Structure 1
Amino acid sequence: MDNPIFAVAARADELRARGVDVVTLAAGEPQSATSPRVVAAAIDAINDPATHHYGTAQGEASLRNLVAAVATTDTGLPWTGADVQIALGAKHALFLALQAVVDPGDEVLVAAPGWPGHAEVVIAAGGVPIPAPTDERFRLTADTLEQHRTARTVAVLLSSPGNPTGAVHSDVQLRDIAAWAVEHEVWVISDDIYRKFDFTGTYRSILRLAPALSDWAVVVGGVSKEHAMTGWRVGWLLAPEEIIASARKHVSRTITHVPLINQRAALAALHDVDTPAAAAHDYRRRRDFLVEALNEIDGIDCPLPDGGLFAFPSVAGLLSEDGWRTSAELAGWLLDTAHVAVVPGEAFNAPGRLRLCFAVDDHTLHTAVKRLKAALEAR
């Protein structure tokens, strides 16, 4: 099945090609450009003949060592460059992790609501994604995971903050999930791509809280969200030796290695702590504006997300048999009528909701809100 998020983007592009002024809050990425210092590092790399040739399958040692140092700070565990595999973005890193632990027909628990890419990458690795309902604050619990565990369960995909919900798991929940995973020998694949965008101050790596999980954990990260580098495709995984060996072999036999120029750019990005901090400050402010504005519209109930890049309001109050029957129909109407692109909750196993990205500039966000309010109030 095609990713419905990309389908919304494609429809918006069609309208733009016809001259329609479409404002999009549907993207799953920051709108801003990559930092000039990162671009400068890439240009320097282009001019370095050493980047014009093959590199190592596991990734450049300098980048792996820096990723390991950052992970050591996050988790409190002594990672080294040998524990890191560089990948073509976090999605590729997730696939490499899953193909190492999944045999055909094995089951992997994924959050519901949750990002469709998690289920898709499980399928790509030959597994079967099993939706595990989240609690009222969109967080997974050990009790729910146990209810959905079977003899074929080999892993759970955990994301905190999450997409689309922005949910940050509590320390207690993470410790319970870790204990459950160790007891049942289930891998925890921790997708930490939104780790810098926690607005509650409560984010913790599951491994910092439960170091005993380290033999059953894979940590996935990348520069895409923190550094507005989605198109550069540099991510990584940190994992036990057998997982890294499997991932290295897969990379060697398929893509050979991640382009060296991109790795140099990612190295520069990881040395830049100011850009993610400034972005987080702006995103929090825009989150607050968007959530308040949405809650002023009759029929919309928008919780305040803990983190991430998205608001995830319920639009159940707008749906009826004689109007829009689904959030997908509503999203289509908003695109065609208000010329605002949003993603329907059906994409995330959450009918009756919409996902709106607030990682855009102020003008875009204010324009989108004005159009949404005008269209919905005039209906």
Structure 2
Amino acid sequence: MTDNPIFAVAAKAEALRAQGADVISLAAGEPRAATSTVVVEAAVDALRDPATHHYGTAQGDPALRASVARTVAEETGLVWIADDVQIALGAKHALFLAAQALIEAGDEVLVTAPGWPGHAEVVTAAGGVAVPVATDEEFRISAEALDNCRTPRTRAVILSSPGNPTGAVHTDSRLQQIAEWAERHGIWVVSDNIYRAFDYTGTYRSILRVAPQLRGRTVVVSGVSKEHAMTGWRVGWLAAPPEIIASARLHVSRTITHVPTVNQRAALAALSDTGTPVRAARDYRRRRTLLVEALNGIDGINCPLPDGGMFAFPDVSGVLRDRGWTSSADLAAWLLDTARLAVVPGEAFNAPGRIRVCFAVDDETLITAIERLRTALGPTEHEAAAQQLEEAR
């Protein structure tokens, strides 16, 4: 197993910053805003409660599980109760718990390409084999593409909508086709809904909302990290059939014992704070437009407008060709060294020739980052002089 390449870029940016460099990082997939005061105060109150100073239950705080169950019920249109939920150390841990419950050594799990490397990582950590499935030109997977990658060892597919890094939101018809395919072949669906609050098209649906018959073979994964700016708090969950929850609970009991109780109290407060995700989505929508328009104004870059999420995922192959670079990793390294701007190369997501740029930052930071991009990737003095000469003719 290798380290997550996204963390490697972020760590290099932090190392440069520690040396005094003025580095802007648009690499890590996290909101730069502070966690809301409501959540922080709930955590402070929890710290003062002696009940949080002792062991809790492996499955998670009953009140938090009940709140998650209501959230998943609203999203899927199905009935969920607290017993259907396992609290985890973030959505990544929830994904791992799902994987280790579903697969045995050598079993295959289908993951999207381009896609977040963490999906493949949790499969590998659980002893399985991650099989990349190519997306279409809009970064969506299809039942046909899934079937082309299916083997007798295929056990599950991890579906993320909106996706990371692409922001793609799957349509109802596409979800229905995927559900029918999964049902026909006895494949489990792990639905990673961590970016569900950031849908800018109004088309996001949970696969269980579209195909409720898949309830018995679906694991819903999410958490408070993205929509409540709580990446450091590490609280996520999975909602699933009883046998998956039983396996996850046993694994938690035997390893971490339980998610810290104070953090769970904070997450419970977050789920009652409906305003923060709405405001974040409004701000991200505006920043998405600002960044994409700026990227498309740079020669050699073609950036689609993402349906959701918090990333732009431009094609930079024109820049690579013009500058003589062989990979987007070359571009990312050059931007960090020259412009003091951290982005993630597309190779991290099975997408050579692209970079991932996070727009979940404040306006001032994003505007400064855009100016650095324009300065770094604009025409050289020689090219500018040649262009002026051509225009004069």
TM-score (normalizing by structure 1): 0.99
Distance in 1 (alpha carbons) for counterparts of 2:279 and 2:51: 33
- Per-residue Cα deviation, 1:10-60 (whole angstroms, up to 9, x for no partner): 211222122210111111100000001100000000000000011111001
| Structure-2 residue corresponding to 1:136 | 137
Gaps of 5+ in 2: 381-393
SS state at 1:203 partner: coil
Secondary structure at 1:54 match in 2: coil
Query: Aligned partners of 2:114, 2:337: CA distance in 1, in Å?
Result: 26
Aligned to 1:300: 301
| Identical columns (%) | 70
1:232-243 maps to which residues of 2 (within 5 A)? 232-243=233-244
Amino acid at match of 2:292: V
What is residue 52 of structure 1 aligned with on the other side?
53
The match for 2:328 is 327
Query: Structure 1, residues 126-152: CA drift from partner, whole Å, max 9, x if none?
Result: 000000000110011111000000000
**Residue in 1 that maps onto 2:78:** 77
C-alpha separation in 2, matches of 1:10 and 1:196: 27
For 1:31, the equivalent position in structure 2 comes to 32
Structure 1: gaps spanning 5 or more residues: none
What does the per-residue CA deviation read over 1:218-271, in whole Å, with 9 as the maximum and x for residues that have no partner?
000100001000000000000000000000000111111111100000000000
Q: 2: CA distance between counterparts of 1:204 and 1:29?
A: 23
Residue of structure 2 in register with 1:209 after alignment: 210
Q: Which residue of 2 aligns with 1:374?
A: 375
Equivalence for 2:253: 252
- Distance in 1 of aligned mates of 2:84 and 2:186: 20
The equivalent of 1:106 in structure 2 is: 107
When Rg is computed on C-alpha atoms for both structures, the one with the higher figure is 2
1:309 corresponds to: 310
Aligned partner of 1:155 in structure 2 is: 156
Partner of 1:358: 359
Q: Equivalent residue of 2:321, what SS?
A: coil
* Count of aligned residue pairs for this structure pair: 379
SS across alignment from 2:222? strand
Task: Work out the CA distance in 2 between the residues paired with 1:186 and 1:70.
Answer: 25
Cα offset, 1:362, TM superposition: 0.4
Quote the Cα distance in structure 2 between the aligned partners of 1:225 and 1:322: 35
- Aligned equivalents of 1:308, 1:158: Cα separation in 2: 14
Q: Which residue type is aligned with residue 235 of structure 2?
A: V
1:283 aligns to what? 284
The alignment partner of 1:319 has SS state of helix
Letter of the 1:295 counterpart:
N
Q: Which residue of 2 aligns with 1:19?
A: 20
Residue 318 (1) aligns with residue 319 (2): yes
Q: 1:336 to 1:249 in 2, by over 3 A?
A: same
TM-superposed deviation, 1:377: 1.3
Q: Which residue of 2 aligns with 1:179?
A: 180
Please say if 1:91 is aligned against 2:92: yes
Deviation at 1:319, TM superposition (A): 1.4
Deviation at 1:195, TM superposition (A): 0.3
CA distance in 2, matches of 1:49, 1:368: 46
Counterparts of 1:18 and 1:92, CA distance in 2: 32
What pairs with 1:165-176 in structure 2 (closer than 5 Å)? 165-176=166-177
Distance 1:377 1:119, change over 3 A: same
Counterparts of 1:14 and 1:274 in 2: how far apart (Å)?
Answer: 35
* Alignment root-mean-square deviation, CA: 0.8
The ranges of structure 1 where at least 4 consecutive aligned residues each deviate by more than 4 angstroms after the TM superposition are none
Between the aligned partners of 2:223 and 2:54, the Cα distance in structure 1 is 23
Measured at CA, do residues 321 and 287 of structure 1 come closer, stay the same or move farther in structure 2, by a change above 3 Å?
closer
Aligned to 1:2: 3
Hey, what does 1:344 align to over in structure 2? 345
Aligned to 2:120: 119
Alignment of 1:253-268 (within 5 A): 253-268=254-269
Q: Secondary structure at the match of 1:190?
A: strand
Measured in 2, the distance between the counterparts of 1:159 and 1:23 equals: 28
SS in 2 for 1:320: helix
Question: Which letter maps to 1:140?
Answer: I
Deviation string 1:60-84 (CA, Å, 9 cap, x unpaired) is: 1100001001111110110000100
In the alignment, the residues of structure 1 paired with residue 19 and residue 324 of structure 2 have an alpha-carbon distance, to the nearest angstrom, of 27
Partners of 1:31 and 1:18 in 2: CA distance: 21
Q: CA deviation at 1:9?
A: 1.1
Structure 2 length-normalised TM: 0.95
1:320 is displaced (CA, Å) by: 2.6
